């Protein structure tokens, strides 16, 4: 949902314990750390400090809702630890996951400057910590800082471009390449270790919801890839073992 951030500075996106995951830990309020997030990129230290001072910390347990579709935008969130799924829910209850919020991502801002109502629903996948602003306060801060305003516009643009690309994939590509490409996106955003083993704590159903397919197809695909040594999967996690093999599949080979 945004450019890659060094998530090690902000907390583990998958809920593992760390000092940085404590919302009372100074790292969550450290302007130097937050300045490295897409929201504050290029923003002066004074402006960054002023914006951070207007926020408060909230903690969300697994399955807690940050906001729901069609509700007025009342709060804006900067995730500092944890993992959030951003989704659309159909009238029949069908869920489509549009993206995952990771540490450094700003959530709830897409509609703040337009409709004033959330266009999606966001729920915590793991224990999450976030800096939270009242929407009216955040809007005033954005409008008073040219750098912050440009960053918000860029974040909105990048979000829409990713949604457009994923729509194209669903409309034109087979299941295998688009699942491989989505796993690569998540892996690259997280920034995995040198040995290439990256664990994504997503269930098979959630992978299906992210890639416009069904649980049966995802289960069959992951079993096939596991037999080839590309991934390891369990009930609520997929471990990427062979990034190069996934890249080849994503390119249609």
* Helix (H) or strand (E) segment spanning residue 36: none
Computed over every residue of the chain, the mean pLDDT equals 83
- Tens digit of each residue's pLDDT (9 = 90 or more) over 125-159: 989 999 999 999 999 999 888 889 999 999 988 88
- For every residue of 85-132, DSSP letters joined together read EEEEE-TTS-EEEEEEE-TT-EES-TTTTTTSB-SSEEEESS-EEEEE
d(CA 124, CA 95): 15
d(CA 205, CA 17): 25
Which segment of 29-33, 90-94, 198-202, 243-247 scores lowest on mean pLDDT? Answer: 29-33
Q: What is the mean pLDDT of residues 210-231?
A: 92
Task: Kindly state the tokens that stand for 134.
Answer: 């009242």
Same fold, 7-166 and 173-250: yes
Are β-strands 56-60 and 128-134 bridged in parallel, bridged antiparallel, or unpaired?
Answer: antiparallel
Q: Domain extents for the chain?
A: 7-166, 173-250
The values of phi and psi at residue 199, to 5°, are -100, 125
Contact 7, 103 (CB under 8 A): yes
Contact 1, 162 (CB under 8 A): yes
CATH number of 7-166: 2.60.120.10
- Tens digit of each residue's pLDDT (9 = 90 or more) over 107-133: 998 888 888 999 999 999 989 999 999
Enumerate the β-bridge partners of residue 96.
88
Contact 160, 2 (CB under 8 A): no
Confidence (pLDDT) at 31: 60
Task: Kindly state the tokens that stand for 20.
Answer: 């940085």
Which segment of 35-44, 75-84, 116-125 scores lowest on mean pLDDT? Answer: 35-44
| Residue 32 vs residue 130, higher pLDDT | 130
Which among 74, 35, 27 is positioned nearest to 51, based on CA atoms?
A: 35
Q: How confident is the model at residue 200 (pLDDT cuts 50, 70, 90)?
A: confident
Q: Inform me whether the pLDDT recorded for 3 exceeds 50.
A: no
Q: Which residues contact 71 (CB under 8 A, 6 or more apart)?
A: 117, 118
Share of the chain above pLDDT 90, in %: 42
Q: Which CATH class is domain 173-250?
A: mainly beta
Confidence (pLDDT) at 4: 41
Instruction: State how far Cα 25 lies from the chain centre.
Output: 22
| Residue 52 vs residue 14, higher pLDDT | 52
């Amino acid at each position: 949902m945004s450019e890659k951030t060094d998530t090690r500075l902000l907390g583990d996106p998958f809920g593992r314990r760390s000092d940085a995951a404590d919302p009372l830990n100074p790292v969550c309020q450290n302007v130097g750390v937050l300045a490295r997030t897409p929201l504050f990129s290029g923003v002066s230290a004074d402006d960054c400090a002023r914006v951070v001072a207007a926020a408060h910390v909230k903690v969300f347990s697994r399955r807690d809702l940050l906001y729901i579709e069609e509700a007025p935008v009342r709060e804006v969130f900067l995730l500092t630890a944890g993992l959030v799924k951003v989704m659309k829910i159909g009238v029949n209850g069908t869920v489509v996951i549009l993206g995952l919020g990771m540490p450094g991502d700003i959530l709830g801002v897409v509609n703040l400057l337009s409709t004033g109502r959330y266009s999606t629903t966001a729920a915590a996948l793991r224990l999450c910590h976030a800096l939270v602003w009242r929407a009216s306060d955040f809007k005033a801060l954005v409008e008073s800082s040219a750098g912050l305003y440009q960053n918000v516009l860029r974040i909105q643009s990048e979000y829409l471009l990713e949604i457009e690309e994923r729509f194209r994939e669903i409309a034109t590509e087979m299941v295998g390449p688009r699942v491989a490409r989505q796993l690569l996106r998540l892996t690259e955003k997280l920034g995995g270790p040198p040995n290439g083993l990256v664990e994504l704590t997503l269930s098979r159903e959630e992978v299906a919801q992210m890639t416009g397919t069904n649980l049966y197809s995802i289960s069959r695909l992951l079993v096939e890839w596991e037999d080839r040594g590309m991934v390891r999967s369990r009930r609520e996690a997929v471990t990427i073992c062979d990034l190069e093999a996934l890249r080849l599949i994503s390119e249609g080979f």
